[in-house]
Amino acid sequence: MFLSFLIFDLLQIGSPYKILIFNPRFGHSHSTFLGRIADTLADAGHNVTSLIPIMNPSIDDGTHKSHKIFVQADPEVKLVYKSHSSMNPIERNLFNPLTPLKVAGMFSDIIGRTCRKLLEEEGLIRETSRGEIRCVHH
């Protein structure tokens, strides 16, 4: 609900905002949803930058109208997505009530490694902070 009000509010403002959207590529629905938000805000005249850590290279980033900053995956994260053996248990055991417990640790590690990689990325903070960014969404 808050997101709806935020988007409505941003669409109504006369002067454009500089907006940073954090859109990690790890799942199709997530990337598509955030990409559409970025494109909608860009269509409304805002200066939108999408920060896109490439966790799963087979996923599209979902945005076609925002400025994109890509960050390559941590080598361990790349290996997890490349091997697919870590992901297959999710698909095979989708209805097993223990699957979320198994996946939670793996996903937590992937997110943690991605965050560390972003913080260590040379020049990323400088590039994302050019100008005043008024709104950040993930």
Burial class for 135, CB neighbours closer than 10 Å (0-12, 13-18, 19+): middle
Between 91 and 50, residue with greater pLDDT: 50
Question: Which of 17, 25, 71, 24 lies closest to 48 in space, CA to CA?
Answer: 17
Structure tokens at 138: 């993930």
Percent of the chain with pLDDT over 90: 31
Let me know: does 137 contact 23? Beta carbons within 8 Å: no
Query: Which one-letter DSSP state was computed for residue 25?
Result: B
Structural domain boundaries in the chain: 16-137
> Can you tell me the mean pLDDT for 23-30?
88
- Residue 66 phi, psi (nearest 5): -95, 160
- pLDDT band at residue 124 using 50, 70 and 90 as cut-offs: confident
